[in-house]
Amino acid sequence: MTDRRARRPSGSQARAGYRDPLYHRPNFRAILNTLKLTPNDYLLEVGCGGGALLEEALRSGCRAAGIDHSPAMVKLAREVNSKAINERRLEIREAEADKLPYLDSMFTSAAMTNVFGFISDPAKALGEIRRVLTDNGRLVVFAVSPEMRGTIAAPEPMASRIHFYSDRELEQLAKTAGFKEAKVERPDLSEFAKEAEIPEEHRGSFSGPGGQLLVARKN
């Protein structure tokens, strides 16, 4: 995958990869296990790709919205989740992370998976997410950690275009954006990788404390 494709996926290859992003599924499980969504929640996913995380999240009975800046991914996410869209439980829009097309205090939860390192102004994007969250709204961001560079999670040459952050930097960015509570966790993804049926030869990339899970709350 090239950096261009990672930033704005398009074409049949991107559609196939994002329709069922196998190697992101352990990350999805980590996010959803942390959020513990209920039918009372309204989730926003920033950088929704092909809509696979939204598809899993909606099983909780929540309502949701997703944004992506790739027209191809917006189209795919709408196709994948057409039933939920028809039921008015989900809407998907083409938009940028630092300019969300939503009113203040709309969402109880927000999530972001494997896109944080591609955002040019992360502080502004986090500020926008905070703006659209309700009081005590929760944000969970799965970011690729520096240690994962060169693995199946962040292969070259794509990794050379990702901005990697330390745990402390992620926490500070969230606090600068106005989140009063912000902490990075390092979940062990090995069990999630097994559940997602990741090929055995690649499961080592998910063992131990791998990716960064930024958990923040708007107070």
* Domain coverage including residue 84: 3-217
Total number of domains in the chain: 1
- Contact by Cβ (8 Å): 113, 24: yes
Q: In tens digits, what is the pLDDT along the chain, a chain of 219 residues? A: 333 344 555 444 444 444 556 777 888 999 999 999 999 999 999 999 999 999 999 999 999 999 999 999 999 999 999 999 999 999 999 999 999 999 999 999 999 998 999 999 999 999 999 999 999 999 999 998 877 766 666 666 666 678 899 999 999 999 999 998 999 999 888 777 777 777 777 777 676 666 899 999 998
End-to-end CA distance of the chain: 39
Q: Which residues pair with 112 in a beta bridge?
A: 141
d(CA 69, CA 46): 9
Q: How many CB atoms neighbour CB 89 within 10 A?
A: 18
Which residue has 């398009």 as its token pair?
10
Integer Rg of the chain from CA: 16
In tens, the pLDDT along 118-148 reads 999 999 999 999 999 999 999 999 998 877 7
Question: Residue 8 belongs to a domain with what CATH number?
Answer: 3.40.50.150
Q: How many CB atoms neighbour CB 166 within 10 A?
A: 12
- Give the global pTM: 0.85
Give DSSP secondary structure letters for the chain. --HHHHHS--HHHHHHHHHS-GGGHHHHHHHHHHH---TT-EEEEES-TTSHHHHHHGGGT-EEEEEES-HHHHHHHHHHTHHHHHTTSEEEEE-BTTB--S-TT-EEEEEEES-GGG-S-HHHHHHHHHHHEEEEEEEEEEE--GGGBTSTTB-TTGGGGS----HHHHHHHHHHTT-SEEEEE--B-HHHHHHTT--GGGGGGGSSB-SEEEEEE--
